[in-house]
Copies of this chain bind each other. A is one copy, B any other.
Amino acid sequence: MSKKIHKRDAEASKQLIITHAIELFSQKGYASASMDELAERCGLNKAMVFYYFKNKKGLYEAVMREVLEEIQRTIIEENKTHKKPEAELEGFIRTYAKFACAHPYLPSLLLKELSDSGAVIPDMLFTSMRQLFALFNDILKRGEEKGCFHDPIPMILYFMILGTLNLMITTKPLRIKAAKLGDIEIDTCDQCDIDDIADYVIKKMKLMLKECE
Chain A interface size range: 35 or more
- Is A200's CB within 8 Å of the partner chain B? yes
Which of B134, B172, B207, B210 makes the CB contact (< 8 A) with A117? Answer: B172
The residue in chain B whose Cβ has the minimal distance to the Cβ of A188 is B155
Which of B129, B163, B170, B212 makes the CB contact (< 8 A) with A162? Answer: B163
Interface window among A5-13, A26-34, A77-85 = A26-34
- Is A112's CB within 8 Å of the partner chain B? yes
Number of this chain's copies in the complex: 4
Interface of A is mostly: helix
Q: Which residues of B contact A15 (CB under 8 A)?
A: none
Interface string of A17-45 (1 = CB under 8 A from B): 00000000011111110000000000000
Interface centre among A107, A164, A185 (most CB of B within 10 A): A164
Q: A170–B125 Cα gap in the complex (Å)?
A: 14
- Is A87's CB within 8 Å of the partner chain B? no
- In the complex, the answer to whether A164 meets B156 with C-beta atoms within 8 Å is yes
Q: Which residues of B contact A197 (CB under 8 A)?
A: 156
Interface string of A91-120 (1 = CB under 8 A from B): 000000000000000011001101111110
- Is A48's CB within 8 Å of the partner chain B? no
Interface window among A56-64, A65-73, A174-182 = A174-182
